[in-house]
Amino acid sequence: MEEARRPEEELDKKDTSEHIEVSTDELDQEDIQHVNNPIVGIKPIEKEFLGAVKEVRQENNKFIFTDGSASVEIRVVSDEIIRVRLAPHSVFLEEFSYAVPSLDQKVAVFNFTEDETHYAVSTNTVSCLINKSNFHISFRDNDSKIINEDYLAMHWEENDQFGGYYVYCTKKCYPEEAYFGLGDKPTDLNLRGKRLQNWNSDTYSFAKHQDPLYRSIPFFISLNENIAHGIFLDNTFKTHFDFAQEDNNKLSFWADGGELQYYYIHGPNMMDVVKRYNSLTGTHKLPPIWALGYHQCRWSYYPESKVKDLADNFRKRKIPCDALYLDIDYMDGYRCFTWNKKYFPNPKKMIKELSDDGFKTVVIIDPGIKVDDNYWVFKEGKENKYFCRRSDDYFMEGHVWPGRCQFPDFTNPEVRTWWGGLFKELVEVGVAGVWNDMNEPAVFGKGTFPDDVRHNYDGFRGSHRKAHNVYGMQMVRATYDGLKKIQKNKRPFTITRAGYAGVQRYSSCWTGDNVASWEHLKIGSLQMQRLSMSGLPFAGTDIGGFSGEPTGELFTRWIQLGVFSPFMRAHSAGDTAEREPWSFGQELEDINRKFIELRYKLLPYIYSTFWEHHRYGFPILRPVVMLEQDNPTNRYREDEFTFGDKILVCPVLEEGATSRKVYLPGGGNWFNYWTHEVLEGGTEHVIDAPLDSMPIFVKAGSVIPEYPVMQYTSEFEVEEMMFQIFYSDQEVNSFYFEDHGDTFAYEQDIYMEKKFVVNGDKKSLTITQSIEGLFTPRYETYELKINGLPFKPSKVLIDGKTYAGDLIFDEVKSLVIKTPKHFKQIQVVK
C-alpha cells in the first residue's frame, strides 16, 4: 500500500537529505514562489500554494476568488454551513455528490464586505474571512471570535501517475482543541493526536487503533473553548486526517485525488453540528419496528433443520427474537440470488413457517458474481455489460466465495436498477431483509479492485481511486431501492458492511468482524457512539465477537450493551462454538433473557428515538461530551452514553467487575432505572453492578413509554400503553411516536407524535400532553406510573376532573393511575 503523503512534505520526495521547514505563514507571495522554484539554499518542492487574492466575483450565493491562476469558491449553503472548493487551475469539477443529494437549503440573509486586509462572506450566524495577502481562510462567529483558521494556504501537487492533484488543507490546532467523529475508528473517542485515513477495507479480526476499517466518513467535530464546529471533507478518494499528531499546532486533512471541497458547519453546540451535518447528508428513514428487535446470526445456520431448531429454541425458552439470518451457505455454490436445494429444499415453505412463528428471515448478498455462463445473473450482467472493466477494457475479475467472479458497477444507475430488480424472487419466497457484505469491495489475495478499474459514477466517470469508497454505499442503495419498489409500501431493511457519508439514507450497518474479547467490547461501545456522532445512527456490533470464543460473562455483558445498541444482533464465525443466549448455562440464559426482554419493553422509547433522528436530525447515541461539552473532563469520558436524551447507559466493560464508577451529567437529577433511587447530576457515583445488572439511569422529568414483554414485535396488539414518569422540579419535554410500524404512511402524516411536559414542585406535579399527526392507535387508555414523588398525593386531576380511582402510593414513592389516552393535563396534588 502506498505510503500516505504528508501534508507538510516540504522537500522533493526522492531527496533523503536534511529536511528544511518552510512556513508560508511567514512568507510573502514572492517567497512562496521561491519555495516552489529551485534557488540557492532552498530545495525544490512539488507543492503549489494559493497566492494573494487578485479578483473576486459573485454568482448568487457563490463567491469565486482567484489569485490569477487558482480559484476558490465560497458557497453559502445555510446560515450555519459554508462550503469551500479549490480549483488549482480555476477549473471546477461538475457539481455532483453521493453524500449530499441537494444543496437547496434556504439561505435567509448573506452579504459580502471588504476591508483593507480581508474579504468577508457573512450570514446571520457566521462569517467566512479570506485574507487578501495570503489567501488564508477563517471562520468567525457573531461575537467576532475566530473559530477555525488556516495555518497554511490551501495547496496541491500534481499526480504524475494518475493525473489530477493531491489536495491539502492545513488548519491551526488550538492548545485545548479536541476532535470527535470520523465514523467507526476503533480508537479513543477524542481523536487528538491521531493520524487516520479513509479507504474502505476488509479487516478481519481488526485490532484496537487499526486503520482504516470498513467505512469512510470524512466528517469530524472540533470542540474548543466550549464552541463546536464541524468539517466535512466531501471527497471520495483516499483521504487522510492528522489531528495534531505530526505537529501539535496543526490540523491537516488531504486527499489523494479529486477536489478539495469541504463544508464548515457551525455549532456552537456539538448537537447542532451533528444535526446540520445530517441536514446535508440525510437521516436514516424509519426502520420497520421489527428491525429494532433482537436478531440472531451465524456463519452459517444450515441446513433447514438447524434453522427450525434455532427458532424452536427461542420460542420454547421464551427469549424474544425477531430475525434470523442466513449466511452464504444458503446459496447454490455461493451464487447470489440462488438457493442450495440440498440444504433448503423448499425455502418458501420454511420462511412461511418461520414467519408464522414471528421470525423475519434476512439473507446475505455479496457483490461478486460467479463467472458461469449457465448462471442467469452472470449471463444478464455480461449481456448488458453491467460488470466493471479495467483500463484495457478487460473485465475486472477476482476470487471471492464463489471462485472466479466479476463485479457489477453500482455507480451506474442502470446497473443499480437491474440489481434492485434481482431481489424479486427472494421477496416472493418471503425474505424480509438483505445483508450486503464484502462490499468494500473485498477481493481475496488482492484486497480490493486495482486502481485502473473504471466506473460510470452516475455519468461523472472515474477510476476506482474515486469510486472505491462509495462502491458499498451504491450497492446497498441499489438493494434498498429495489426492495422498496418490490415490497410496495413496506419499509426495506438493509444492512451494509461498507459505506460512505450519506449511506444512512439507505442502510443500517455493523462494525464488522470483531473479536470475542473485553477489549473489543469497549471498542464496540466507542464505535457505536462515534458512528452516531458521524451520521450513521442505526449501527451495532457482533454481540459476543465474530471471531474467538467469549466466556459466558463476556457474552452476557455484551448482550447488556446490545440492549442499547441501535442495531442488536449476535453473530459469530463458523469455526467458533455455538453462541446463542442459552449457550452458557441456565443462570446466564436467565440473565440474557431478562435483558433481551428489557429491549422489548423499551421498544416504544427506542422507536421514538429513531423518529427524533429521522425528523429532527438528533443522533441516537450521545457521548457524555455531547451532553455537557463545557466540562473539559468529559472529552475523555468514553464508557457511558445516552440512548436518546433520557436514558443514560453505563455498560460494565471489565471482567469480574461487580460495580463501576458512573458520572451523571449535570442539569438535574437522575433515577436509577432498577431501584428508582434519585441521584444528583454533575457528580460521580459508585454503582453496584453484579452480573445480572447494568447501571441504567433515567433523567428526571422523563416520560418513558414501555410495552408489555413480547416474543416478537407483532406478537399481539397492545391493549393499554404503559408510561413511566420520573418526577422533576424543572420543566422537561419528552416525545412519544407511534405509527403502523412498517409502512411509509408516516410520510403522509399518518403518525402520532406526542409531546409530554413534566414540571413539579414540593406540592404538585403537572403533566401535559399535546398531539400531532393523523394516526390513531386502537388502545384507549394509559397506565401511568409516576415515580419519585416527594410528597404523598391526596388528589389527582385529569383535565380538571378528580380521578376516581384509588391512589396507591408505594414504598418507592410511585403512584399508578389509569387515564384516557388523549388527556391534556394531569395534576398530582399533595
Sign of the dihedral defined by the CA atoms of residues 745, 747, 749, 755, in that order: positive
Nearest CA to 351 out of 332, 326, 334 is that of 326
Helix axes 304-316, 347-356, angle to 10 degrees: 0
Q: Give the pLDDT band (50/70/90) at residue 159.
A: confident
Q: Which of 250, 281, 312 is a domain's end point?
A: 281
Residues 201-227 pLDDT 10s: 999 999 999 999 999 999 999 999 999
Whether residue 430 sits in one domain with residue 478: yes
Q: What is the mean pLDDT of the chain?
A: 93
Whether residue 577 sits in one domain with residue 440: yes
Report whether pLDDT(25) > 70.
Answer: no
Whether residue 749 sits in one domain with residue 687: no
Per-residue b or e along 176-215, where b marks 16 or more CB atoms closer than 10 Å to that residue's CB? ebbbbbbbbbbbbbbbbebbbbbbbbbbebbeeeebbbbb
Does residue 433 sit in helix, strand or coil?
strand
260 belongs to a structural domain: yes
Q: How many domains does the chain have?
A: 4
Q: What angle do CA 392, 397, 398 make, to 5 degrees?
A: 140
390 belongs to a structural domain: no
Residue type, position 730, single letter: Q
Nearest CA to 554 out of 652, 641, 623 is that of 652
Report whether pLDDT(551) > 90.
Answer: yes
Whether residue 309 sits in one domain with residue 254: no
> Alpha carbon of 818 to those of 548, 591, 708, 826, 829: distances in Å?
50, 31, 16, 11, 16
Full residue range of the structural domain in which residue 448 is found: 289-370+412-589
Q: Give residue 302's pLDDT.
A: 96
**Grid cell listed for 148:** 477555525
Q: Give residue 407's pLDDT.
A: 98
Residues 291, 544: contact at Cβ < 8 Å?
A: no
> Alpha carbon of 212 to those of 188, 209, 217, 240, 581: distances in Å?
14, 9, 11, 10, 32
Cis peptide bond prior to 790, omega within 30° of 0: no
Whether residue 672 sits in one domain with residue 554: no
Q: Give residue 39's pLDDT.
A: 31
Residues 664, 683: contact at Cβ < 8 Å?
A: yes
* Entry pTM: 0.93
422 belongs to a structural domain: yes
773: left (phi over 0), alpha (psi -120 to 50) or beta: left
54 belongs to a structural domain: yes
Catalytic residues: 437, 440, 513
Nearest CA to 643 out of 675, 610, 597 is that of 610
Per-residue b or e along 792-827, where b marks 16 or more CB atoms closer than 10 Å to that residue's CB? ebeebebeeeebeeeeebeeebbbbbebebeeeebb
Q: Which of 548, 568, 589 is a domain's end point?
A: 589
Distance (Å, whole) CA 403 – CA 366: 13
Whether residue 651 sits in one domain with residue 683: yes
Report whether pLDDT(829) > 90.
Answer: yes
Q: CB count, 10 Å around CB of 173?
A: 21
The DSSP code sequence of 87-149 is ETTS-PPPS--SS-S--------EEEEE-SSEEEEEESSEEEEEETTT--EEEEETTS-EEEE
Whether residue 660 sits in one domain with residue 765: no
Nearest CA to 504 out of 183, 81, 78, 179 is that of 183
Nearest CA to 241 out of 181, 200, 189 is that of 181
Residues 234-280 pLDDT 10s: 999 999 999 999 999 999 999 999 999 999 999 999 999 999 999 99
Question: The CATH number of the domain where 736 resides is what?
Answer: 2.60.40.1180
How confident is the model over 12-33, as a mean pLDDT?
Answer: 34
Residues 54-108 pLDDT 10s: 999 999 999 999 999 999 999 999 999 999 999 999 999 999 999 999 887 777 6
Cell 485574507 identifies what position?
131
Q: Give residue 323's pLDDT.
A: 98
How confident is the model over 335-345, as a mean pLDDT?
Answer: 98
Q: Which of 225, 248, 281 is a domain's end point?
A: 281
392 belongs to a structural domain: no
Whether residue 566 sits in one domain with residue 426: yes
Distance (Å, whole) CA 18 – CA 21: 10
How confident is the model over 730-757, as a mean pLDDT?
Answer: 97
Question: The CATH number of the domain where 36 resides is what?
Answer: 2.60.40.1760
Whether residue 727 sits in one domain with residue 686: no
Residues 753, 737: contact at Cβ < 8 Å?
A: yes
Q: Going by C-beta distance under 8 Å and a sequence separation of 6 or more, which residues neighbour residue 251? A: 151, 170, 171, 172, 173, 177, 179, 222, 242, 243, 244
594 belongs to a structural domain: no
